[in-house]
């Protein structure tokens, strides 16, 4: 790339985690000296995508899961937006469906602009869902989407939206990145993009200070970031039930739970019902105050059923807070990468409760936690992340740009799950009427709402999965 290459950093969620990550990489690139990076949000652009194109309200049916569902009708292109962004050498899309349409990004890809899509969730490789919740419909063009409310966005439109994203990700000059290998691998495994165009790039984090403190005095202080009980994916009901059991069993002093976020009446009611020793901090906007909570917490609990590379784990880790997390996604990867913390395989209150108590009993030394905190900080330093990012975008080729056709799996299946794959491989089953989606026990479904049964189409021959 030429000296002082121009980069457009796009985000329509400038106040959220994705927007903060976008702004941080923008600032870091400008400090490198070889790039001119511009942060472009809705305010900077001057207008949002019309609500008739990208629907403002969630199109989720709130039955299969209640995570936000972003519906975008394909084909909408604003010539002036394409012309503006075409003046940049690189377009880095964070979470921007209300800022720029997929069709506009395709137009830019055809103009041989380098495009890097930073994936904070699965949105840019699906027909509209942000997390699949066990559904593998991405492998089958999102046919029969179980998450969408057809009265808001038809299943045919879901497939059309998916096909448009598949077209975008088919261009050789379009790459993706994510802060977790889990999400990168999950996207590549659907066949929508090749592995050579998928990269792991961590988010940037600036610790408030280098003060660490004595963690042994706060090892029984558990931090729970709890904005609300609304999104079941976060597993907040499960977390509170587990903390209630741990509180009842803990005999070596008091188990204190620090709750950070917007409290609602139901959350406070459950804390009282479970007899949790709760400290309600409310929503904290000033980062120095949040850092003080991290310093005074020994354990960070997250019961998310699906997650990428949560900011709260990074921020907590930078202050030596030991994570207790669920298995099977980016939270488990975080513990594996840094060699610390506890991963709970079974999403039940009993399992999380036992693990919390085990974490307190086997709490790491301050020396080990200092090493952990230093590793987390170094991995997310602006200078280190920016160098990886710069190398990635420099290697994006614009020579011989064409759409790469991925090998697509069979399309005669509605939705399949791991349990269905196992059943097929063991028994050669040619038809199954109901599939349990998600790898969770009946006990965990009580808290998550995951695991709804979804019909599949009949196949005329045996299905074989490698």
> How would DSSP label each residue in 70-132?
--B-TT---HHHHHHHTTSSEEEESS-TTTS-HHHHHHHHHTT-EEEEE-SSSGGGSSSBSS-
Residue 145 CB contacts under 8 Å (≥ 6 apart), including other chains: 127, 128, 129, 135, 137, 155, 158, 159
CB 370 within 8 A of CB 266: no
248 and 313 housed in the same domain: yes
Q: How far is CA 354 from CA 270, 300, 348, in A?
A: 20, 15, 10
Question: Is position 401 within any domain?
Answer: no
106 and 248 housed in the same domain: no
Q: How far apart (Å, rounded) are the C-alpha atoms in residues 34 and 32?
A: 6
Confidence of residue 141 (pLDDT cuts 50, 70, 90): confident
- Tens of pLDDT, residue by residue over 63-98, are 878 899 999 999 999 999 999 999 999 999 999 999
170 and 62 housed in the same domain: yes
Q: Which of 355, 379, 403 is the last residue of a domain?
A: 379
- β-strand pairing of 322-326 with 198-200: unpaired
229 and 182 housed in the same domain: no
253 and 282 housed in the same domain: yes
CB 436 within 8 A of CB 64: no
Question: Is position 406 within any domain?
Answer: no
374 and 390 housed in the same domain: no
Q: In what order do the strands lie in the sheet with 322-326?
A: 277-282, 256-260, 221-225, 299-302, 322-326, 342-344
368 and 416 housed in the same domain: no
- Tens of pLDDT, residue by residue over 92-112, are 999 999 999 999 999 999 999
386 and 424 housed in the same domain: no
Q: How far apart (Å, rounded) are the C-alpha atoms in residues 180 and 188?
A: 13
Q: In what order do the strands lie in the sheet with 114-118?
A: 35-40, 5-10, 90-93, 114-118, 174-178, 198-200
Assess whether pLDDT exceeds 70 at residue 455: no
Q: How far apart (Å, rounded) are the C-alpha atoms in residues 289 and 398?
A: 46
Confidence of residue 2 (pLDDT cuts 50, 70, 90): low
- Tens of pLDDT, residue by residue over 353-372, are 999 999 999 999 999 999 99
Average pLDDT score over residue span 2-7? 79
Q: What is the CATH number of the domain that holds 271?
A: 3.40.50.2000
Question: Is position 138 within any domain?
Answer: yes
Q: How far apart (Å, rounded) are the C-alpha atoms in residues 249 and 229?
A: 25
% of the chain beyond a pLDDT of 90: 68
Assess whether pLDDT exceeds 80 at residue 406: no
Question: Is position 209 within any domain?
Answer: no
Mean pLDDT computed over every residue of the chain: 85
Number of residues that make up the chain: 466
- Using DSSP, state whether 38 is helix, strand or coil: strand
175 and 318 housed in the same domain: no
Considering only residues 457 and 31, tell me which one the structure prediction assigns the higher pLDDT.
31
91 and 185 housed in the same domain: yes
387 and 374 housed in the same domain: no
Residue 466 CB contacts under 8 Å (≥ 6 apart), including other chains: none
Question: Is position 311 within any domain?
Answer: yes
Question: Is position 405 within any domain?
Answer: no
Q: How far apart (Å, rounded) are the C-alpha atoms in residues 122 and 127?
A: 10
> How would DSSP label each residue in 136-172?
-GGGGTTTT-SSB-TTTS-HHHHHHHHHHHHHHHTBT
Q: State the total domains in the chain.
A: 3
CB 239 within 8 A of CB 301: yes
Assess whether pLDDT exceeds 80 at residue 397: yes
pLDDT of the residue at 1: 55
How far out from the chain centre does Cα 131 lie? Answer: 7
Q: Which of 366, 394, 422 is the last residue of a domain?
A: 394
Q: What is the CATH number of the domain that holds 193?
A: 3.40.50
Average pLDDT score over residue span 455-459? 33
Strand partners, 129: 69
CB 9 within 8 A of CB 26: yes
Assess whether pLDDT exceeds 60 at residue 144: yes
- Tens of pLDDT, residue by residue over 241-251, are 999 999 999 99
Q: Which of 394, 422, 448 is the last residue of a domain?
A: 394
Strand partners, 326: 344
Confidence of residue 3 (pLDDT cuts 50, 70, 90): low
Confidence of residue 437 (pLDDT cuts 50, 70, 90): very low
- Tens of pLDDT, residue by residue over 172-224, are 999 999 999 999 999 998 899 999 999 999 999 989 877 777 899 999 999 99
pLDDT of the residue at 4: 74
Question: Is position 210 within any domain?
Answer: no
pLDDT of the residue at 466: 33
Per mean pLDDT, which range of 114-118, 312-316, 445-449 is the poorest? 445-449
Average pLDDT score over residue span 149-157? 95
Question: Is position 402 within any domain?
Answer: no
Nearest to 267 by CA among 314, 298, 226: 226
Structural domain span for residue 433: 412-466
196 and 233 housed in the same domain: no
């Amino acid at each position: 790339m030429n000296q002082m290459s121009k980069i457009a950093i796009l985000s329509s969620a400038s106040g959220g985690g994705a927007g903060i990550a976008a702004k941080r990489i923008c600032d870091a690139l400008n400090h490198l000296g070889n790039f001119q990076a511009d942060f472009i949000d809705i305010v900077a652009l001057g207008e949002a995508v019309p609500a008739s194109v990208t629907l403002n309200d969630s199109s989720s049916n709130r039955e299969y899961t209640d995570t936000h569902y972003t519906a975008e009708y394909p084909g909408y292109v604003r010539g002036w937006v394409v012309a503006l962004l075409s003046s940049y050498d690189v377009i880095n899309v964070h979470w921007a469906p209300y800022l720029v349409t997929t069709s506009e990004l395709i137009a830019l890809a055809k103009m041989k602009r380098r495009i890097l899509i930073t994936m904070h969730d699965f949105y840019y490789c699906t027909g509209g869902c942000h997390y699949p919740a066990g559904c593998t419909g991405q492998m089958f063009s999102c046919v029969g989407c179980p998450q969408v409310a057809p009265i808001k966005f038809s299943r045919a439109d879901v497939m059309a939206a998916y096909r448009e994203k598949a077209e975008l990700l088919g261009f050789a000059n379009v790459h993706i990145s994510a802060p977790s290998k889990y999400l990168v691998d999950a996207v590549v495994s659907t066949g929508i993009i090749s592995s050579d165009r998928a990269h792991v790039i961590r988010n940037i984090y600036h610790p408030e200070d280098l003060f660490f403190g004595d963690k042994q005095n706060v090892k029984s202080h558990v931090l729970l970031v709890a904005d609300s009980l609304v999104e079941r994916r976060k597993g907040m009901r499960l977390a509170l039930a587990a903390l209630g059991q741990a509180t009842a069993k803990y005999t070596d002093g008091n188990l204190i739970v620090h709750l950070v976020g917007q409290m609602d009446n139901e959350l406070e009611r459950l804390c009282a019902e479970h007899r949790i020793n709760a400290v309600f901090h409310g929503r904290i906007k000033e980062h120095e105050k949040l850092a003080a909570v991290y310093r005074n917490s020994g354990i960070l609990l997250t019961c998310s059923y699906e997650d990428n590379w949560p900011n709260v784990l990074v921020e907590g880790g930078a202050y030596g807070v030991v994570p207790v997390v669920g298995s099977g996604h980016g939270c488990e990867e975080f513990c594996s990468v840094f060699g610390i913390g506890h991963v709970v395989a079974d999403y039940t209150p009993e399992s999380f409760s036992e693990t919390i108590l085990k974490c307190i009993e086997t709490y790491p030394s301050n020396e080990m936690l200092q090493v952990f905190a230093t590793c987390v900080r170094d991995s997310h330093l602006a200078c280190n992340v920016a160098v990886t990012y710069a190398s990635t975008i420099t290697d994006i080729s614009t020579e011989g740009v064409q759409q790469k056709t991925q090998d697509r799996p069979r399309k005669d299946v509605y939705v399949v799950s791991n349990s269905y794959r196992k059943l097929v491989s063991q028994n050669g089953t040619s038809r199954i009427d109901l599939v349990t989606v998600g790898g969770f026990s009946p006990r965990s479904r009580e808290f998550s709402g995951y695991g709804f049964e979804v019909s599949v189409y009949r196949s005329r021959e045996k299905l074989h999965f490698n």
